[in-house]
Amino acid sequence: MPLQQLRQHGQFLALSRQQPNLFASPIEFSLDDGTQVYIRSPGIISFTPSKPEGKDIVLSSGVHGNETAPIEICDELVQGLLTGQFSARHRVLFLFGNLPAMDIGERFVEENMNRLFSGAHSKGPGLVNAERVRAKELEDAVADFYQQGEWIGQNYRCHYDLHTAIRGSKNEKFAVYPYRHGQPWKKSQLQFLFACGVNTFLLSNGPTTTFSYYSSNEFGADAFTVELGKVAAFGENDMSRFAQVRETLLALISQDEVALPGYDPNALHVFRINQVINRTKEDFRLNFADDAPNFTDFPLDYVLAEEEGVQYKVQEQGEAIVFPNAKVAIGQRALLTVVPTSL
């Protein structure tokens, strides 16, 4: 029986991957402490305490299937909640994004899911593949979760979309702060992520189709895309490198408030996005080594990338690269550049 396995061992993710039909229809049950568990579909599970303390927390992982460390962190948290190892004080929704991509150890099967939110899944060709269908399902799950919280008087929303990067980074753990449409950046959020071991932040300069921007823009959630290190296969992560984020997320779920360090601008690296460089032609290429880490900077006028008829050059002193990937689909982002700034 799946419920017995869930209660005894907490193997929600394993069952979602191995026997997804078990969750073809929603399942709801109560834990011994009165917490209501709602399984919406494979990889989508929420916990509502009998007396929630006011926060609606969304933790997503596996939007890219080969980014395994965040998946393992969230799987451990779900197991702990299901088996009674600890209890939730706040409502929390866990989303394990791209289950088929996890099974083949790839970033995605047909299409990059983290370019399919804010309705992008249904534009262009529409819901023509599993990633597009799943992106819509994840959006719907977030929308329903936050709306249900509103009905019972919850007063705070956050969403941390957890990833690892394709390549190494000079700053191992960093977070992308979605565009705020004129709203202020929150130092308290930087403090929270610093407690997670994240010391580098990118301030977005426009709307995107990422999952974190969806929650931020549509629901006013404090939301971030959080990069926790470099991609590794399941079972090959040094989980000691993720102890801070695991303990801080556990505190977020299980405590009324998280004790945070004071805001110290000297301990943080803050960048603003300067250029978004898209691949528009087949011959697009990057003009630096394949193993150049994120946040490598180049001199003024250095040609970072080129394709037929155009060169993309360094525009400002200290401008550095983030998320370079020349193999993206035509029309998608192949490179961000960032320059130092402050809040």
The stretch 72-98 carries a mean pLDDT of 97
Three-class DSSP category at 236:
coil
Show Cβ contacts of residue 18 under 8 Å, excluding neighbours closer than 6 positions: none
**Active-site option among 227, 236, 282, 319:** 227
Which pLDDT score, from 0 to 100, does residue 27 have? 94
* Core vs surface per residue 301-332: b (16+ CB within 10 A) or e: eeebbbbeeeebbbeeeebbbbbbeeebeeee
Which pLDDT score, from 0 to 100, does residue 217 have? 98
Long-range pairs of 257-260 with CB within 8 A, sequence gap ≥ 24: 258/192, 258/195, 260/188, 260/191, 260/192, 260/194, 260/195
Catalytic-residue membership of 227: yes
The stretch 49-65 carries a mean pLDDT of 96
pLDDT tens by residue, 287-312: 999 889 999 999 999 999 999 999 99
Q: Count of residues for the chain?
A: 343
Rounded Cα–Cα distance for residues 114 and 147 (Å): 23
The stretch 79-97 carries a mean pLDDT of 97
Q: Does the structure show a pLDDT above 80 at 2?
A: no
Share above pLDDT 90 across residues of the chain, in percent, rounded to a whole number:
87
Most confident of 83-97, 158-172, 252-266, 283-297: 83-97
Which pLDDT score, from 0 to 100, does residue 216 have? 98
DSSP string across 81-149:
HHTTSS--SSEEEEEE--HHHHHHTSS-SSS-GGGSTTTGGGSTT-S-SHHHHHHHHHHHHHHHHHHHH
Q: What is the mean pLDDT of the chain?
A: 94
The stretch 190-199 carries a mean pLDDT of 96
Question: Letter for the amino acid at 304?
Answer: L
Give yes or no for a contact between 49 and 88, defined as CB atoms under 8 angstroms apart. yes
Q: Does the structure show a pLDDT above 90 at 199?
A: yes
pLDDT tens by residue, 26-54: 999 999 999 999 999 999 999 999 999 99
Share above pLDDT 70 across residues of the chain, in percent, rounded to a whole number:
99
pLDDT tens by residue, 219-248: 999 999 999 988 889 989 999 999 999 999
pTM, two decimals, is 0.94
Which pLDDT score, from 0 to 100, does residue 174 have? 94
